[in-house]
Structure 1
Amino acid sequence: MTTEQIDRLVEVESLLSRHRRASVTVTDWQPLLPWAVVRARVEGREGVIVKWMQPHPNQSRTASWRIRTELAALRFLSDDLGLRLAPRVIAADLATGLIVLEDLAPRTALDGLLRADGAAVHAERLAAFARVRGELSAATAGRAGTYHARRAALGPVDDLMGELAERREAGRGQAAALGAPITGQAERELAAALDELAEPGPFLALSNGDPEANNVLVHASGDPDARLIDFEFAGYTHALHDAVCLHVPGPAWLTVGGGPTDEHRRALARGIPEAEDDRRYGFALAAACVRFALGRLERLPKIDARPPGDDSRPQLIATMEAAARTADAHRVLPCLSGWARQVADLLRRRWPDADLDLEDRTAFPLYSPRGR
């Protein structure tokens, strides 16, 4: 055990002793690397998860900011709304940056199961993933004031949308440099899409800020019941942002999609009836997918510098094409869809090594991981 881990163990024992008003001894301590997370056991009784914040790689949020956000979001869900969609907070100490959570074992991260076994084996768990994302949005819609009051009581709140806007504008610059500027009707469609996302109306709901398969825990077999984790970047935003990961590859995948998308919409509509409006739902979903793809395009210089054969190249192509397919499927944003396909074609010509048939499910089954 490292010196830092020993210090953390002592801090956890002190925190839990104060919380329970009795001496507490931690009898087991298992780091879950590479994260600042530990699975611990308290005096042979219940297991707990201990988490503390390390500096984020891009330093976009301080450790103090992130633990306050996670604490507010989890207590909002459990204490204010009475939901069991995420782990319950057992104790927290903002001064030391510690948060102790209930252990949701034997659930395990969905992305690990997908990598090990493939998506076909875990269709039920993918459906549970989509459903729990929709349930989170449905349950938190219309409750922004309660969450914001709880979060504000813990300190200043940053503007999450400002960071997304910076990435989007960087992506626009890369598109122009590539030879595919967003102009004319495509620019007008983009403005309408961004207006929709900025003014969600009834679709305003809580997101954990990273709606990917690594942040949902499911049972490896049997009951696919799911729980969401990692609320460090939580905040209220358009609910369809949380559906993008079901349609467009996120950082970990080359391909995504399949039946679970309907599960998300059905769960969402239970709390946001407007999700049953095909036109409104389709426009917002396509808008969120295109915005995500545009933001990912800002990585072009970094990907260009990587060697031929690096999976980040076909991944970016797949991202642009998946966003276009989503818009086409809902018959919205036709010019933006055409722009996304133009970018994908330019990238295929730029990177001959990445000119692959990404829709060939024998070569690229659903949830093919990047970097395999």
Structure 2
Amino acid sequence: MLNVVAWTRLEPWRVARARTDRDETVIVKWTGPHVDGRHSEAWRLCTEVAALRFLSEDLGADLAPRVLAEDLGVGLAPRVPAEDRPGGRIVLEELPGGRIVLEDLAPRIALDGLLRRDGADAHLERLTAAARARGELGALTAGRAEPYYRRRAALGPVDAEADRLGRVARLRAEGVPQAEVLGAPVTGAVEHELASALEVLADPGPFLVLSNGDPEANNVLVHADGPPDARLIDFEFAGFTHALHDAVCLYVPGPAWMSVGTPAAAAQREPADAYRRALAAGVPEAEDERRYGTALAAACVAFALARLWRLSVLDARPAGDDSRAQLVAVLEAAARTAEAWRALPRLAGWCRRLADALRRRWPDADVDLAAPAPYTPRRS
């Protein structure tokens, strides 16, 4: 019998590190509300289990933690593969309900904590390893959507089309209307180019790969010293989508950051180049400069415009709140990326017009956004 005898919650997440009676540590995750309300708690837990088991059991990959046991609250008994836990089982009854038990990847720690503590220059090797791991995930899973969705459907309903079109749908529903509020409606040549860009993302072709749904630095674990040996975590929103969505965070700052560097900065190209090389090992089309650049620009613009949903929220924030300048930075970084790849010029110009409109709307956000070092944290 393998019993969990002690566990410590890892704030602020619904995660705990537990110790068994064999003096082994495991990670326990349980369900709870999420700021992204598109999916139920049960849906997210089933998705994480399906994605992690797909990677480790179906593909033999070690890019993410293994699932050791699960209690999904849908009539499935917790189970542990015999080869992993001979003669034993994990007892979950005293842990919060609706939960999974995962391999503990310690002593790896979250990459974002290292970046906040030391800055990007000190961790370029780890940033590069994280980007490479994302690219490897895409290369490994390209062309394998059907077996993944068979596994996922066995745990409950899933919509593969919604996974593929998620960011495109959010842009249409939230970004485009807010652009009109800012006085930059989608018309004429911009409208035509936007439709073309969204078509690229909606029909990925060979670029259809598995993503964990949130490729930011907080969802990558690395060793703080020595070889990074990166692992990807948090697959609650996993699904097959266009691979270049996972590259956006290398060019455009996500919610936690004011800057992630620019394509013109030589050192910052290392992570981006590592991602592309790793992806190309399974998706040779990634070596096509024009095709890759267009898809990357489309993904960056889609991410930036989808973030416009926050307009009314940020209007209510006090002057000087970092979130306002951060939204400007996101739009300008998307435009800069498209320009660097000589792709989607009208959308790049549209993003710049939207950023200028925000600078006028919020004079406190009309600041020099070239000043923050890469991976400068957003303060609020």
Deviation of the 1:355 alpha carbon? 1.1
CA distance in 1, matches of 2:144, 2:328: 38
1:248 to 242, 246, 252: 252
CA contact (8 A) 2:335 2:348 kept: yes
2:163 corresponds to = 160
Q: How many residues align?
A: 347
Cα RMSD (Å): 1.2
CA contact (8 A) 1:168 1:291 kept: no
Distance 1:298 1:274, change over 3 A: same
Specify which structure has the higher proportion of helix: 1
Deviation of the 1:349 alpha carbon? 1.4
Deviation of the 1:33 alpha carbon? 1.2
2:343 corresponds to = 332
CA distance in 2, matches of 1:206, 1:68: 15
1:192 matched to 2:203? The reply is no
Identity of aligned residues (%): 66
1:371 to 332, 357, 379: 379
2:366 corresponds to = 355
| Aligned residue runs from structure 1 range 90-105, under 5 A | 90-95=68-73, 96-105=97-106
2:80 corresponds to = none
| Aligned residue runs from structure 1 range 91-170, under 5 A | 91-95=69-73, 96-158=97-159, 159-160=162-163, 163-164=166-167, 165-170=169-174
1:232 matched to 2:254? The reply is no
Distance 1:97 1:46, change over 3 A: same
1:17 corresponds to = none
SS of 1:30's equivalent?
Answer: strand
Letter in 2 for 1:116: R
CA distance in 2, matches of 1:149, 1:233: 17
1:183 corresponds to = 187
Deviation of the 1:166 alpha carbon? 3.5
CA distance in 1, matches of 2:60, 2:236: 20
CA distance in 1, matches of 2:212, 2:233: 8
2:325 corresponds to = 314
CA distance in 2, matches of 1:343, 1:270: 37
2:60 to 72, 82, 96: 82
Letter in 2 for 1:133: R
CA distance in 1, matches of 2:349, 2:100: 47
1:214 corresponds to = 218
| Aligned residue runs from structure 1 range 39-50, under 5 A | 39-50=17-28
CA distance in 2, matches of 1:261, 1:162: 24
1:223 matched to 2:221? The reply is no
CA distance in 2, matches of 1:76, 1:214: 22
TM-score between the two structures when normalised by the length of structure 2: 0.89
1:268 to 279, 284, 293: 279
1:70 corresponds to = 48
CA contact (8 A) 1:27 1:44 kept: no
SS of 1:25's equivalent?
Answer: strand
CA distance in 2, matches of 1:324, 1:283: 12
Letter in 2 for 1:57: V
CA distance in 2, matches of 1:166, 1:119: 30
